[in-house]
Amino acid sequence: MTTALTDLSPDALANALEANMAKQFAYFRRSPRAVVDESPDLLRFLCGIPIPEYNGVIGARFARESTPDALRGRIDAVVASFAERRQPFLWWVGSSSTPADLRLHLAAVGLASLGEGPGMATDLEALDTRHVGPPGPSIVPVADERTLQDWVGAGRRRLWRAGVHPAGPL
């Protein structure tokens, strides 16, 4: 997003958060190991890392006139692309995803919903910068093997709690 969001309605914020995630995942194309496909109906990304959050689909906007068989065929093809590479993946369904019952179509091919994910947004014009965050936790760059392991471990533990079990030790 190149400009500040002025519409702070819940729908606009949800759409902006989803668009931000799509941009983040599209950035993976900078890796020589990654495959990022942006098509008119979705963004698919595979990083070759066997952790679901590094492989997935976001921004699905299937044509409203798609027949159920055509939609099923497209979903099957996308799911098969991950299976062929033996990569776990997440299919992110956001407020802008279509059709409105996409979750049902994904469940029909065996994909389970992990529920709603959190998102954060704030009005930067109204932000009181004197109080940046609570005391205690800190945000630090991942600059060495130890902090990388801490970051990866925290993400993997969250996945285990959600019932997703990536290969390898935590």
Write the pLDDT tens digit of every residue in 20-56.
889 989 988 888 888 999 999 999 999 888 888 899 9
User: In which band, very low, low, confident or very high, does the pLDDT at 166 lie, cut at 50, 70 and 90?
Assistant: low
Q: In DSSP terms, which residues pair with 39 in a beta bridge?
A: 42
- How far apart CA 136 and CA 20 sit, in angstroms, is 28
Could you report the per-residue pLDDT of 101-128, keeping only the tens digit for each?
999 999 999 999 988 877 888 777 787 7
- C-alpha 71/C-alpha 64 separation (Å) is 10
Rounded Cα distance, 109 and 68, in Å: 13
> Which tokens go with 71?
């939609």
pLDDT of residue 139: 74
Per-residue model confidence as pLDDT tens digits over 44-100: 999 888 888 899 999 999 987 789 999 999 999 999 999 999 999 999 999 889 999
pLDDT band at 168 (very low <50, low <70, confident <90, very high): low
More confident residue, 168 or 159: 159
SS (H, E, C) the chain: CCCCCCCCCHHHHHHHHHHHHHHHHHHHHHCCCCEEEEECCEEEEECCCCCHHHEEEECCECCCCCCHHHHHHHHHHHHHHHHHCCCCCEECCCCCCECCCHHHHHHHCCCCCCCCCCCCCCCHHHCCCCCCCCCCCCCCCCCCHHHHHHHHHHHHHHHHHCCCCCCCCC
What is the residue extent of each domain of the chain?
10-123, 138-170
- pLDDT at position 170 is 43
C-alpha neighbours within 13 Å on the C-beta side of residue 32: 0
Tell me, what's the pLDDT at 132?
A: 67
